Chains A and B, each alone.
Chain A
């Protein structure tokens, strides 16, 4: 290296600065044009804000359809982020008949939508329509975040002895007890009048939910992300499509229906009712001990939204004999939507489902004995 090299580098940087600045702003300003949720799909059923989509597989190999359920915050397109980086695309390629519940954009008129309505009506009916459309008698449920908790509640709901038509239950970064999370510091205190806020707002604006989520890691979310993008642009390593699709998804925040938000805060950050079996939906008890399906639980080591310790009590509650636990490094969303997931986690999920979706016998474990892999 010659003495002039740092000087040459500095001049090169200075010359490239306007170009880099333009590219950087262009990436930020054209984020809305990013393609998100591009896999072809058809509408199977709609009710109020809820829509059930079907992604048909041209190489269908498994008789048991798979129903994907995402959280009540953010959009379910994270399952189908962008071509080449889409869990849905991967699963239909593996031969699964994939359905997806989209909770839509609840507004003030949907303030009366509570967990009762989401579990007992919307999810129950989505399951029904999935079975009707696919001609199957049972399905696999895959929930993510709040969606996973809704799926667990659905399977734990008292049906007077009747079993829900769910063979396999895959739960991704699922909160069960949030009392030790940062959220609990914010909304767990009784002085925070959650009833009043939900009544005033009707449905809690998506922007407020997004702001709260970002405030959990303020420097990372409000600064580091943009700084890293700038460095990527300077080094020529910025991945425009990857950044834009994720940024677009993060910025798309539907409101949280008021009643459901209120119930969620009580359930997760104050009472931990699912642990104690005290939750009641439409006067029917929700007891996780009723869950006897084949269960796959996926936790993320660096999950600050649904920290792993808040999921682990689930294993002590359920009655399933076939329980598997994937514990992986990564964050709440990055675990499943990150670039590493495609190589390792998705094939693992597909393999777990495949073994249990074609009528072959599943490996049996002792009750509550989870395999950690």
Chain B
């Protein structure tokens, strides 16, 4: 009791400190583990397999869907890409229009300034 009053840890605090210590050590060990090239290979192969399986599943469902004469993901992606291309062109046209408008405004300002400066 006297020890505790002097700042020593209670059994509960000791258990908590032990646990946090164990957790911190586990975290360090796992960080070392994931930093190993072998883990990297495992993760890379898993990513490749997951990507391939996802694509196969999507393609399978898409095939079924399109055979039902319904628009599938591939059709939507194609349409979206067409829209993107149109938007890209529109953006460039808009920028041209804006810069021409700015140029005209500058010209007009210059003409007005010249006119104001010319003695009557």
Question: Using a CB–CB distance below 8 Å, which chain A residues touch chain B?
Answer: 1, 6, 9, 47-48, 107-110, 112, 121, 125, 128, 132, 182, 185-189, 191-193, 196-197, 200-202, 208, 212, 215-220, 223-224, 227
Contacts and interface: CB of A to CB of B under 8 A. Distances in A.
A189 B23 contact: no
Nearest first, the 5 closest Cβ-Cβ pairs linking A and B are A109-B80, A219-B27, A192-B44, A200-B51, A186-B40
Contacts of A6: 10-12
A6 B10 CA distance: 9
Nearest to A231: B16
Contacts of B43: 186, 212, 215
A128 B32 CA distance: 45
Given A107-B77, A212-B43, 17 more contacts: A1-B5, A110-B84, A182-B34, A182-B35, A186-B40, A188-B40, A189-B44, A192-B41, A192-B44, A192-B47, A197-B51, A200-B48, A200-B51, A216-B34, A217-B30, A219-B30, A220-B27
Given A1-B5, A109-B80, A182-B35, A197 B26 contact: no
Nearest to B50: A208
A109 B40 contact: no
Contact of B47 (A108, A110, A208, A217): A208
Interface string B69-102: 0000100110011001001100100010010000
A270 to B, nearest CB: 13
B81 A109 contact: yes
Contact of A201 (B36, B40, B51): B51
B14 interface: no
B74 to A, nearest CB: 9
Contact of B98 (A1, A109, A132, A224): A132
B4 interface: yes
Contacts of A132: 98
Contacts of B26: 219
B49 to A, nearest CB: 10
B110 interface: no
B34 A201 contact: no
B1 A1 contact: yes
B52 interface: yes
Interface of B: 1, 4-5, 10-12, 23, 26-27, 30-31, 34-37, 39-41, 43-44, 47-48, 50-52, 54-55, 73, 76-77, 80-81, 84, 87-88, 91, 95, 98
Contact of B54 (A121, A200, A212): A200
Contacts of B11: 6
A185 B27 contact: no
A214 to B, nearest CB: 10
Nearest to A223: B23
A1 B4 contact: yes
A157 B47 CA distance: 33
11 contacts: A108-B77, A109-B81, A112-B81, A125-B91, A186-B39, A189-B41, A192-B48, A217-B31, A219-B23, A220-B27, A224-B23
Nearest to A47: B91
A287 B23 CA distance: 45
Nearest to B90: A47
A121 B95 CA distance: 12
B69 to A, nearest CB: 22
Contacts of A185: 34-37, 39-40
B95 A125 contact: yes
A176 B55 CA distance: 32
A47 B10 CA distance: 62
Contacts of B37: 185, 189
A193 B95 contact: no
B98 to A, nearest CB: 7
B77 A193 contact: no
Contacts of A193: 48
A200 B52 contact: yes
Contacts of B12: 6, 9
A188 B12 CA distance: 46
Contacts of B87: 47-48
A108 B58 CA distance: 12
B30 to A, nearest CB: 5
Given A1-B4, A224-B23, A218 B84 contact: no
A109 B82 CA distance: 9
A200 B31 CA distance: 29
B76 to A, nearest CB: 8
A201 B23 contact: no
